[in-house]
Structure 1
């Protein structure tokens, strides 16, 4: 390079630093791209996104190309800087050139382009992908050779070179929803999180328990049956013979009232209007049951245990309420109706309330991995049926058993103002 003037060498050095900055920025931009947004843009026909996806499908080749280019440029820049240093400063030129070039490369070819690329990856990556595509075609033999040597060394070290799956786990997806901020309205975030939680909740958690089922004994007097049909708070009523485990089926009030209007209402006509029973095994996750309701074209079912005994009732609306919140026509009593605030800051609570509903309504933290109702939770804790006015602290919440009847706790007073973590 003795015949090349100092000015030309300086221009070449500046060009090499710019090329180094290009490789550094391209690497950061390509690796910082949001893979899910990238797929969305590619599906909508964005050419830059499509090129970027093809390059990222083989990250080993892409990184190999960028590193080969960057190292070649930096080594050549170092050589030219050394020549310039010796020409300008003599024996001290080598030290001066090394120090100055290190600072210049660090600031202008590394930190600055990588920072810009990290802040605006799409602006850098999409145009850059066109150049990288052709460079990869041009240097493919060299890139493949480097990758083969690298893979061999990694195998000797016991490191697998299989690319990890970049699919989001459920918890990672939950984090994405949480961090969406204003991009997704809070109400919609809650619905998305509720959908993710469906597989963690079973039908027992939301069912109307056996003791609260509104059902009609078809062996009762017909006048009594007629009265119960008219007074039913639900559109579908369960019919049974003497024992609720001997269930006959569901009858839709619309069908019963139509029979009444035609003056054809009788036990036999009522039984003919009965719909076939649909049974749900206890322990069925809500996401599975939602799919089962859809597949079987059903809207209501009876939850049964391993012995076939009826444990409760679940409807399609109950599952949908887990996602979108309570409807105005819920088949179960809403938690707020079971909770009565008192002037002293305590709450009188119907002990048959579902614990999950209680936690949601009051933002409390009673355990949900055991009994489903507050009554069951207290009985499990005490291991006996308590007397009225029994006081206890459960899960950190002070409470008093107010009313006990029919071998179960009816009403409980909870004093959250004295709560302390258990």
Structure 2
């Protein structure tokens, strides 16, 4: 038992000594810190996933909100005077949990509506009699230039999950969530539409398929018997994006050849997931 304890103690000390050796150079900037961490990874002291998180954590201190926010045209905002039949469809269709609410104009953001606050009212049959302005919660406003590490700290301190991004004139230019920030650190956070990384194409219902946007063209052609040009684009997402002519948001669709492509997951940087279904004649 004493021998085991000695071996464990020696091993622990050796590990600490190795870390100390890597840090003894007293890095002067982030590049040197990353170099040390990368060396630690190559030496087996830091796993690849941990290294990625370290890199992401350092990166957010250099990034601003404007780089990751969801642009205003892609935001779903609700009028405070809207009736249930007006605001429920976009809420249900988007499957989001929080929505900016505006007053006299779309520039007048007066709060945030949480979809879950509607559930109890709907269950009790009180939704029609309740005004949205009585349900909204205070909205946090942040400038486009705010650093992501500062924003993350504020999210944690205030226990809020969404902030309205405003430009230099105080007008809404987009929104940002705590998930958007965390994804810069840990990578994309899966949602209900995502599936195992071992699959690029997965059958959903009937003739519908869920297809990752990064699916190589040749793999897509083989599965769907299509003849998309493999020289012009590398992935099916590239072809779909070119047909849209803009970065689409969720639920937008486009017909290419004999198939209908619906965007199931996308952010302000790229298409992530597609639903592919044959056109019914």
* Residue 168 (structure 2) pairs with residue 306 (structure 1): yes
TM-score (norm 2): 0.61
Matched with 1:170 is: 30
Question: Residue 246 of structure 1: which of 108, 113, 133 is its match?
Answer: 108
Distance in 1 separating the partners of 2:119 and 2:149:
35
Structure having the higher strand fraction is 2
Length-normalised TM-score, structure 1? 0.42
Which fold has the larger relative contact order, with Cα–Cα distance below 8 Å and residues 6 or more apart in sequence?
Answer: 2
Q: How does 1:311-322 map to 2 (within 5 A)?
A: 311-322=173-184
User: What corresponds to 2:262 in structure 1?
Assistant: none
Deviates more, 1:240-249 or 1:296-305: 240-249
1:344 is aligned to 2:262? no
Relative to structure 1, the CA distance from residue 37 to residue 272 in structure 2 (aligned partners, 3 Å threshold; closer, same or farther) is: same
Task: Find 2:47's aligned residue among 177, 185, 190.
Answer: 185
1:215-246 deviation per Cα after TM superposition (whole angstroms, max 9, x unaligned): 22233444222433444410112222363211
1:324-343 alignment runs, 5 A limit: 324-329=186-191, 342=217, 343=228
- Check whether the contact 1:219–1:242 (CA below 8 A) recurs between aligned residues: no
> C-alpha root-mean-square deviation of aligned residues, in Å?
3.3
Match in the other structure for 1:215: 77
**Quick check: which one's helix share is greater?**
1
Deviation string 1:273-330 (CA, Å, 9 cap, x unpaired) is 2110101111111111111212222211011011111111111111111111111239
Question: How many residue pairs were aligned?
Answer: 197
Q: Distance in 2 between matches of 1:35 and 1:167?
A: 16
**Counterpart position of 1:37:** 20
| Structure 1 residues 353 and 262, CA gap change in structure 2 (3 angstroms) | closer
Question: Quick check: which has more Rg, 1 or 2?
Answer: 1
Tell me, in whole angstroms, the C-alpha distance in 1 between the residues paired with 2:214 and 2:66.
Answer: 21
Deviation at 1:167, TM superposition (A): 4.9
SS of 1:183's partner is: coil
Gaps of 5+ in 2: 1-16, 193-210, 218-227, 250-267, 271-281
The residue aligned with 1:287 is 149
How far apart in 2 are the matches of 1:340 and 1:242? 45
Q: 1:328 to 1:185 in 2, by over 3 A?
A: same
